[in-house]
Amino acid sequence: MVRTPSCDKNGLKKGTWTPEEDKKLVDYVTTYGCWNWRQLPKHAGLARCGKSCRLRWINYLRPNVRRGNFSQEEDELILDLHQSLGNRWSTIAKHLPGRTDNEIKNHWHSSLKNRSTNFKLKPAVGTNLKTGSGKEDKSTNGEFNIDSLLDSATHTILESTPILTSPLPSSSIISSLSHSDCSGINFKSFVVEDDACSTQLIGENSCDFWTQPFLQDFEGSVNCSADDFMNPLRELGILYPPCPIDDEESFWFYGLHMAQTDELQL
DNA sequence: AAATGAGGCAACCGCTGTTCC
DNA sequence: AGGAACAGCGGTTGCCTCATT
């Protein structure tokens, strides 16, 4: 589980992340975003490679990461998706909100692989994922229809829990942030805009699913303020990092990134 | 109580895809 | 067009925990 800390030939630290390192990374990403993973550790005061920071953020520190045991529903969905997609863990992960590809991959190898040999796709499940009925969802030629399954699978998870999402950031922002691994957090909104976290119930907009598990942490209150997110972090002493920009080149890239973010929000 | 082996999982490695110049 | 830089992905490793002997 935990690797012995060591340094590589460039003096960059490897192995287990310490709480201090976690705090630095969370500090930085929540405030400035991940505008460049390679530059990030330098500005965040971390002796890590960008890759390591990215992985740590995605798999562990990102606010919407769901931890804990996999439900039966999730297991069946993973088995379903793996049967059709193979080892495309990131694609599978997209249909399990809050779960990371790494976590699913580990879970597969540790728990599900043995089950998969006996797993028969539709007959084993016994019900149509989307409708919950016993009807089989067949394509016209009787073969498996991946689009149908993905659609159904997404509905299965999304319909199983009340879904909260934020009107801000927009789907385009989410898309942009997801693409750069800032999934689930609009750092500017959380830092600057008090009403950025107000939520609403939505239907089937899977574009927003990265935000859902995170916001579900606030379930019970349909509306939440940025403080709902900020206060726990403040208690940990997070969110007040020093200004990261100390050289002209990085300042330019950072400025460009922020300008692009502004453009997306307009 | 100590030794051992299996399972679980965080993290690393290296390859591939994408974007930019 | 092609090379460099970067991000993303999947395979693999290595250490810890816990059950078993």
At A200-239, the pLDDT tens digits run 333 333 333 333 434 343 333 333 344 444 444 444 444 4
Residue with tokens 């991959």, as numbered in its chain? A105
Whether A38 sits with its Cβ under 7 A from any strand C atom: the answer reads yes
Query: How many angstroms separate the first and last alpha carbons of chain A?
Result: 44
Whether A37 sits with its Cβ under 7 A from any strand C atom: the answer reads yes
Whether A103 sits with its Cβ under 7 A from any strand B atom: the answer reads yes
Q: CA-to-C1' distance for A68 and C16, Å?
A: 18
Q: A4: which 2 tokens?
A: 């012995």
Query: Residue A119's pLDDT is what?
Result: 53
The answer to whether residues A33 and A187 touch, using CB atoms and an 8 Å cutoff, is: yes
pLDDT digits (tens, 9 = 90+) for A52-107: 998 898 888 887 788 778 888 888 888 888 888 888 898 898 888 888 888 898 88
Band (pLDDT 50/70/90 cuts) for residue A6 is low
Q: CA-to-C1' distance for A102 and B9, Å?
A: 9
Q: What is the DSSP letter of A165?
A: E
Q: Which residue is nearest to nucleotide B9 (CA to C1')?
A: A1
Q: Nearest nt to A36, CA vs C1'?
A: C6
Whether A227 sits with its Cβ under 7 A from any strand B atom: the answer reads no
Q: Give A142-147 contacts, CB < 8 A, sequence gap 24+.
A: A144/A84, A146/A84, A146/A85
Q: CA-to-C1' distance for A118 and C5, Å?
A: 45
Whether A266 sits with its Cβ under 7 A from any strand C atom: the answer reads no
Whether A94 sits with its Cβ under 7 A from any strand B atom: the answer reads no
Measured CA to CA, the distance from residue A183 to residue A192 in angstroms comes to 18
Residue A107 makes CB contacts below 8 A (sequence gap 6+) with: A70, A78
A141-166 burial by CB neighbour count: b if 16+ within 10 A, else e?
A: eeeebeeebbbbbbbbbbeeeebbbb
Asked if the peptide bond before residue A169 counts as cis, ω within 30 degrees of 0, the response is yes
Band (pLDDT 50/70/90 cuts) for residue A113 is confident
Q: What is the DSSP letter of A178?
A: H
Measured CA to CA, the distance from residue A266 to residue A252 in angstroms comes to 21
Q: Note the Cα A235 to chain centre separation in Å.
A: 23
Q: CA-to-C1' distance for A237 and C2, Å?
A: 48
Whether A21 sits with its Cβ under 7 A from any strand C atom: the answer reads no
Phi, psi dihedral angles at A213 (to 5 degrees): -60, -40
Measured CA to CA, the distance from residue A198 to residue A97 in angstroms comes to 20
Q: A53: which 2 tokens?
A: 């920071």
The answer to whether residues A79 and A112 touch, using CB atoms and an 8 Å cutoff, is: yes
Q: CA-to-C1' distance for A217 and C20, Å?
A: 39
Residue with tokens 């996999």, as numbered in its chain? A70
Residue with tokens 């879904």, as numbered in its chain? A163
pLDDT digits (tens, 9 = 90+) for A159-193: 443 333 333 333 333 333 333 344 444 443 333 33
Element (H or E) spanning A164, and its range?
strand A164-165
Q: CA-to-C1' distance for A220 and B16, Å?
A: 43
Query: Average pLDDT in the A38-58 region?
Result: 88
Q: Note the Cα A68 to chain centre separation in Å.
A: 15
Residue A1 makes CB contacts below 8 A (sequence gap 6+) with: none
The three-state secondary structure class of A82 is helix
Q: CA-to-C1' distance for A243 and C17, Å?
A: 41
